Amino acid sequence: MFGGSKLTVNNEILPPAPMYWSEEERFGGGDDHGIEWKDKMDMVTWRGVATGGRNSPDNWRGFQRHRFVSLNNGTKISGAESGEAKPENFALPDVAEYGIEAQKDHNLGPWVDEFADVSFVDLMCTPPQDGQCNYTDFYFEVTDGIKMTEQFDNKFLPDVDGNSFSGRYLGFLRSTSLPIKATIFHEWHDSRLVPWKHFVPMDSRFLDYFGIMDYFLGYQGRNTRDKAAEKIAMEGKEWAEKVLRKEDMSIYVLRLLLEYARVMDDKRETMGWADDVLQDP
């Protein structure tokens, strides 16, 4: 089987996904890869659909995108932090494990509100309800989408799985912003990318999310690591433009199909060896 992505336990053969080749604006931003880092806002921006499976009144609390949106809502976080409200679908990280300054100061919610611009554009109810959902709209507000080129005005771009891998990853890598990647799916280019050099990895449970943002943004003007964030963003962009081009995809697919043909051939054990040519020029 061939597929655009796979889980670790599966063995699909991975060609590049079609959206990486087509370079649609909604996946890659077109020819605009963003403004200079120094001109960007210190913001996290994410827009998406409430996918990740077929959600229902009984199971939506276990969905990763719902969890990520909730973890970017300062009001929900403050309620959980103070004990005034029980979090519906997330857990706060352990203070001792991550050492987040805002959490030590019991100010996690307002701190998150300073940088988070995260929301759904469609609640993907079952059955569909024109973007709304009678069992989740009490918890989530649907907002307008943001074009990729506008998202590139912000420094931090999370990439979170939906029903499968996100098709925006290559666009994020090529941009002048910093991709923060959370996924359980493998893609064709994984071995070409190095975590913390070309992108920032994030656990799909998101318990490390606040720690990542604390590392780069600091707290109340202290301990910021803006230069480190810029370095990863720029090295990821430079590398993607060298090894994840259309030319690289074409070469990869050609070699993949040649090897597939060899494996499927009955003479696979001997074909292609120089001795064959010497014996019968």
pLDDT by 10s per residue, the chain, length 281: 999 999 999 999 999 998 888 877 777 777 788 999 999 999 999 999 999 999 999 999 999 999 999 999 999 999 999 999 999 999 999 988 889 999 999 999 999 999 999 999 999 998 888 889 999 999 999 999 999 999 999 999 999 999 999 889 999 999 999 999 999 999 999 999 999 999 999 999 999 999 999 999 999 999 999 999 999 999 999 999 999 999 999 999 999 998 998 889 888 877 766 676 677 76
Residue 23: the pLDDT is 74
Q: Is 220 helix (H, G, I), strand (E, B) or coil?
A: coil
Euclidean distance between CA atoms 123 and 142, whole angstroms: 7
- Domains, the chain, in order of start with CATH, read 18-244 (3.40.50)
- Quote the pLDDT of residue 236: 98
Q: What is the pTM of this model?
A: 0.92
- pLDDT, residue 276, reads 65
Q: Residue 277: its pLDDT value, please?
A: 67
Question: What string of H, E and C letters represents the secondary structure of 144-198?
Answer: CCCCHHHHCCEEEEEEECCCCCCCCHHHHHHCCCEEEEECCCECCCHHHCCECCC
Look up residue 243 and give its amino acid: V
CA distance 199 to 179: 5
Q: Would you state the pLDDT for residue 30?
A: 72
